[in-house]
Amino acid sequence: MYPTAKPACCLTSVLLATLAAGAAGQTPVPQATPSALPTDPAALLELAHQVNGFHDPGLKPWHIRATWQTLDDQQHVTDQGTWEEWWAGEKKYKIAYKSADVDRISYGTDHGTWLVKNTDKVAWQFGTVERLIQGPVQIVRVVPPITLDSRELTIQQGSASLLCVVQNELREDGEPVKVMAANGTARPLELRYCFSGDLPAIRAEAISDGGQTVFNSLIRFQGQYLAQKIRSFGASGIETDISLDLVEPLDPVVDADFAPPTNAKPISNFKKIAVSSGIAQRNRISGRPPEYPADARAAHVQGTVVLQATISEEGSITSLDVISGPPQLQQAAIDAVRTWRYRPYLLNGVPVAVETQVNIVFSL
């Protein structure tokens, strides 16, 4: 699963997690009983997409709250915050985002989306929290002549096993689409979703750029699988730990709680979703590779530049911010990524803007 040193140790821990119950409406996930999961990889992913997370509009009203913290490669906490959502329908919800630099609440109504913004800045962690809790299994759609090669793979971890769906994107000539690093090396772009036992509950995700996520302490709520503890590792060594602290039915639903206050402002074209770096990379269709700065190469500076990018409905880069990386390499990464173009990301057949991370590896 392309592990770095830290994620490799933590992939095993996902199999040792204790399944626990919590607040009202939650039930612990039982021990797996023999059952027939789909043997077709695409069918298994479709099933996992349906039963993991909180994105089904047919669910009854709910309230969830999660806390998160980001750690650097030395395990120092660099940021932390809270994400909370009250949901009573696709046009009746409220989401609160809070951290040291962010304090905003968005309201979904019949008259569009409204925002109360006290303090705000780019905070990619909130998109990560939303995706990993609400939609941890993403379905990749490709546009011909690109095709998708999906297969099942069993990985043994001690006495337990993981059933994984492995996906590679293939070009028209049958060769895999590859991830190109700044040093000119390339490797096939690969995405893995892994499930334990005979349950379609997501337990691990891995991307060929080195990113990994493990899902622990599973519960079921309204028939959906949810992880109460999530650890996500980026290719650069940045770790995001997520704790789902509260999951409960929203009963009764009080209409006044979903009414935007007088200081809320309407937002046009607000629909934007977060996708993993691997999924976004699959949709990349053009753009030049990064050029290694001569002065950085001479000084033997190397490392990974992590960027936060917004991709428009048309597939162009509309904003780009540096999250981390050696300062001598950041501008070269930005200059290259600004030239990149993507196939539009489709949500229910409609192109939407996305937020994602881009990892540029400079290696000597």
Show the CA angle centred on residue 272, arms to residues 327 and 69, nearest 5°. 55
The 3-class SS string of 194-245 reads: EEECCCCCEEEEEECCCCEEEEEEEEEECCEEEEEEEEEECCCCCEEEEEEE
Q: How many CA atoms within 13 Å lie on the side-chain side of 75?
A: 2
pLDDT in tens, 289-315: 888 898 988 888 888 888 889 898 778
Domain spans of the chain, in order of start: 5-28+36-268, 277-362
Question: Which tokens belong to 18?
Answer: 């204790």
Q: Which residues contact 89 (CB under 8 A, 6 or more apart)?
A: 57, 61
pLDDT in tens, 226-253: 999 999 987 667 889 999 999 999 999 9
pLDDT bracket for residue 271 (50, 70, 90): low
Q: Which residues contact 303 (CB under 8 A, 6 or more apart)?
A: 236, 325, 326, 329, 362
Three-state secondary-structure class, residue 166 = strand
Specify the residue for token string 């021990």: 31
Give the integer Cα–Cα distance in Å for 221 and 25: 6
CATH class (in words) of the domain with range 277-362: alpha beta
Structural contact between residues 364 and 183, judged by C-beta atoms closer than 8 angstroms = yes
Give the integer Cα–Cα distance in Å for 346 and 343: 9
Residue 345's pLDDT is what? 77
pLDDT beyond 90 at 68 = yes
Give the integer Cα–Cα distance in Å for 211 and 281: 13
Backbone torsions φ then ψ of 110, nearest 5 degrees = -65, -15
CB atoms under 10 Å from CB of 116, counted, come to: 17
pLDDT beyond 70 at 73 = yes
* CATH 2.50.20 holds for 5-28+36-268: yes
Structural contact between residues 318 and 340, judged by C-beta atoms closer than 8 angstroms = no
Overall pTM surpassing 0.75 (yes/no): no
Give the integer Cα–Cα distance in Å for 152 and 166: 6
pLDDT beyond 80 at 103 = yes
Mean per-residue pLDDT, 351-364: 81
pLDDT in tens, 7-57: 333 343 333 333 233 334 555 555 444 456 888 999 999 999 999 998 777
